Amino acid sequence: MSVHKEVKKVTTHQLQEMKRRGEKIAMLTAYDYTMAKIIDHAGIDVILVGDSASNVMAGHETTLPITLDQMIYHASSVIRAIDRALVVVDLPFGSYQGNSKEALTSAIKIMKESGAHAVKLEGGREIKDSIERILSAGIPVMGHLGLTPQSIYKFGTYTVRAKEEEEAQRLINDAKILEESGCFALVVEKIPAKLAAEVSNSISIPVIGIGAGGGVDGQVLVTHDMLGMTHEFSPRFLRRYLSLYESMTGAFQQYIKDVKSKDFPNETEQY
């Protein structure tokens, strides 16, 4: 008899239940099989295949260059690793802003070719039609407001958004529009903690923050940042759980030394 225990998969409905009972949602990014396997095994609720892959994996300065096919490559690697987490994939810049038909085509391509569970789009009222059209095909949508890195050339900087009353009010209204459109959850990035808490209290879908304080329904970080692999990026909101840049550098240096000194491989490390 098999003793294999069925893993209960996280669903969009469960995330909404978590908000209702006050249980915080933990979300992290992943772009490859090995990292996704470790994160899923650790018990994360949501894995985001973020277009931050453009920065973290490909070394671009912004998220703009990453393509739909590249996002699908990352997403399908992640999906092969997952037993439990809900996997959300970013629609990359240029794959949905044209019109709602283009947005639907891109979302379907991601779902079909990667096996992902949901997509994420940046923006508010201006992408309402696209969100509704994607949802009409049965694809769950996560919204993203505040600092939206795909619009970096419009903003000009990566500083905190919505500090002024007018932008804050617009953000709250956008959050309500995204909820009405049918988004199952919302990311708010780099906005004042007070405003983020107000957004969370104004809508019934979960609000997941990055640089948005503790008054929201969950948190997301870029995994490579929280592991300390990216040491040149140090925003105030980032908590580093490891210093992998230093420990990996030490390991690589030791390996180089061992090879050069002929210490590696030794008698027991060969056939």
CA distance 259 to 7: 43
Q: Is the Cβ of residue 118 or residue 210 nearer to ligand KIV in the bound state? A: 210
- Closest Cα to residue 85, out of 43, 118, 113, 115? 43
Angle between helices 128-136 and 100-114 (to 10 degrees): 40
Tell me the catalytic residues: 189
Residue placing its CB nearer to ligand KIV in the complex, 126 or 246: 126
Binding-residue total with ligand KIV (CB under 6 A)? 11
Q: How many CB atoms lie within 10 A of CB 73?
A: 17
230 binds ligand KIV (CB under 6 A): no
* Span 188-207, contacts to ligand KIV by CB under 6 A: 189
Report the candidate in 221, 219, 218 with the shortest Cα–Cα distance to residue 18: 218
Rule CB under 6 A: is residue 29 a binding residue for ligand KIV?
A: yes
The reply to whether 210 sits near ligand KIV by the rule CB under 6 A is yes
CB of 246 to ligand KIV, least distance (A): 23
138: left (phi over 0), alpha (psi -120 to 50) or beta: left
| Least spacing, CB of residue 88 vs ligand KIV, in Å | 9
Bridge partners (DSSP) listed for residue 25: 218
Using rule CB under 6 A, residue 150 touches ligand KIV: no
The distance of closest approach from Cβ of residue 132 to ligand KIV in the complex, given in angstroms and rounded to an integer, is 21
Which residue has 């600092």 as its token pair? Answer: 147
Site string for ligand KIV, 35-54 (x = CB under 6 A): -------------x-xxx--
Secondary structure letter of residue 157 according to DSSP:
S
Q: Minimum distance between the CB of residue 86 and ligand KIV, rounded to whole angstroms?
A: 14
Q: Is 6 helix (H, G, I), strand (E, B) or coil?
A: coil
Q: Which is nearer to ligand KIV, 157 or 266 (CB)?
A: 157
Instruction: Please give the radius of gyration of the chain, using alpha carbons only, rounded to the nearest integer.
Output: 20
Q: Does 222 bind ligand KIV (CB under 6 A)?
A: yes
Q: Contact, 37 vs 44, CB < 8 A?
A: no
Could you say whether residue 220 binds ligand KIV (CB under 6 A)? yes
Q: Map residue 242 onto helix, strand or coil.
A: coil
Q: Which residues bind ligand KIV (CB under 6 A)?
A: 29, 48, 50-52, 90, 187, 189, 210, 220, 222
